[in-house]
């Protein structure tokens, strides 16, 4: 693979479709340009002034013509809209189950990658082929954008929230990672490599980089370090809700809302507890961790809290009871 190529490799399941849509837009654009320029030139020639005394007849429009040149472009645009929307939702909605979760923090000017098993890398990402990989993206400082041209995927990394990015790599190799949003002096240096490996090679790679501790174990240490454990007593009545089987489940809040405890909910609850007071608990007794903990630490805590739920506790859309009411939250204060 060269340093530069007009068309990067196609190395993900969606790359082909993105290229097809791109080709469609390009062909429509080129054909329309040719047709329009042809008629501009043709009519300019046909209706040129042949005789200084000739006065053409005035024309007052044509309804059929108006309809034809409105409806045809409209239908072509609808195809673009429908196709683009389908691809957009397909590419930006990660599968709910069985994803390989990897955590990426953008920081001026590097990408820090953490794996659930505890491996860490900077400006390098290793993934297997044939497996849906879900990246949770966070920014430590300013707006960045995570871009892997070979996967035809790009996603802004917004400070203060989690963004998700998913792909399934198809072709082993090494491909560029870029930052695609101007983020300061060394924006152009904020790049790296994604290495796509066969599942077997990937297992070997994971084993060889054997880390001391999984992300969840590191998160548990932080959980103890910050004293979370004194109130969030596991499986018992503490001053704060137990965190067992919280991730991926519905939570009832003091203000009447019922929300899913996903990564974003946990993040906000740690940084600013009063925003998400859980029904039956006082949120104001919990310290505010905004500014106390960095994004990497937060991700470790969240992976730890995730590990307290069943292995299949992926966030799901809330399901209402048949009568339209909200089912009881899993996280309720025990009597």
Rounded Cα distance between 4 and 224, Å, is 48
Stretch that binds ligand CUA, among 81-89, 178-186, 283-291, 292-300 (CB under 6 A): 178-186
Per the CB < 8 A criterion, the answer to whether 167 and 151 are in contact is yes
Rounded Cα distance between 152 and 84, Å, is 13
Stretch that binds ligand CUA, among 176-184, 212-220, 287-295, 304-312 (CB under 6 A): 176-184
Of the pair 131, 154, the CB lying nearest ligand CUA is at 154
Interaction of residue 183 with ligand CUA, rule CB under 6 A: yes
Q: How far is the CB of 190 from ligand CUA (least distance, A)?
A: 4
Q: How far is the CB of 107 from ligand CUA (least distance, A)?
A: 8
Interaction of residue 190 with ligand CUA, rule CB under 6 A: yes
> Got the DSSP string for 27-75?
HHHHHHHHHHHHHHHHHHHHTS---TT--PPP----HHHHHHHHHHHHH
Helix locations, the chain, DSSP H:
15-46, 63-92, 199-208, 215-225, 228-231, 263-271, 295-307
**Residues of span 131-170 touching ligand CUA by CB under 6 A:** 144
Q: Out of 101, 121, 163, 181, which residue is the one contacting ligand CUA (CB under 6 A)?
A: 181
Instruction: Find the helix or strand (DSSP H, E) in which 144 lies.
Output: strand 144-148
Of the pair 186, 274, the CB lying nearest ligand CUA is at 186
Rounded Cα distance between 59 and 257, Å, is 63
Total residues found in the chain within this entry:
335
**Which positions from 195 to 224 touch ligand CUA by CB under 6 A, shown as an x/- string?**
------------------------------
> Got the DSSP string for 175-196?
EEEEE-S--STTGGG-EEEEEE
**Which positions from 98 to 127 touch ligand CUA by CB under 6 A, shown as an x/- string?**
--------x--x------------------
- Phi/psi at 109 (5° precision): -135, 75
Of the pair 112, 306, the CB lying nearest ligand CUA is at 112
Residue numbers at the binding site for ligand CUA (CB under 6 A): 106, 109, 144, 179, 181-183, 187, 190
């Amino acid at each position: 693979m060269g340093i530069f190529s007009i068309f990067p490799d196609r190395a993900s399941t969606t790359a082909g479709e993105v290229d097809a849509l791109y080709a469609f837009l390009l062909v429509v654009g080129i054909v329309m340009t040719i047709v329009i320029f042809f008629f501009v030139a043709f009519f300019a020639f046909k209706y040129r002034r042949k005789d200084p005394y000739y006065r053409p007849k005035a024309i007052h429009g044509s309804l059929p013509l108006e309809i034809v040149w409105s409806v045809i472009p409209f239908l072509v645009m609808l195809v673009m809209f429908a196709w683009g929307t389908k691809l957009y939702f397909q590419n930006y909605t990660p599968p709910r189950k069985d994803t390989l979760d990897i955590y990426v923090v953008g920081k001026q000017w590097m990408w820090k990658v953490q794996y659930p098993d505890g491996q860490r890398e900077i400006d390098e990402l290793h993934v297997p082929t044939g497996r849906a990989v879900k990246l949770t993206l966070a920014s430590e400082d300013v707006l960045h954008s995570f871009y892997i041209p070979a996967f035809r995927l790009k996603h802004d990394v917004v400070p203060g929230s989690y963004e998700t990015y998913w792909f399934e790599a198809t072709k082993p190799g090494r491909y560029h990672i870029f930052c695609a949003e101007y983020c300061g002096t060394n924006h152009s240096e904020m790049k790296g490599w994604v290495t796509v490996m066969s599942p077997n090679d990937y297992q070997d790679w994971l084993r060889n980089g054997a880390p001391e501790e999984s992300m969840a174990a590191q998160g548990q240490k932080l959980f103890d370090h910050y004293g979370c454990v004194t109130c969030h007593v596991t499986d018992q009545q503490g001053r704060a809700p137990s965190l067992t089987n919280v991730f991926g489940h519905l939570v009832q809040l003091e203000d009447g809302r019922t929300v899913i405890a996903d990564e974003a909910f946990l993040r906000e609850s740690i940084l600013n507890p009063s925003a998400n007071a859980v029904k039956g608990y006082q949120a104001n007794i919990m310290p505010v961790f905004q500014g106390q903990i960095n994004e990497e630490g937060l991700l470790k805590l969240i992976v730890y809290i995730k590990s307290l739920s069943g292995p299949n506790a992926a966030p799901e859309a809330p399901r209402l009871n048949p009568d339209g009411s909200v089912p009881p939250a899993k996280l309720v204060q025990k009597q």
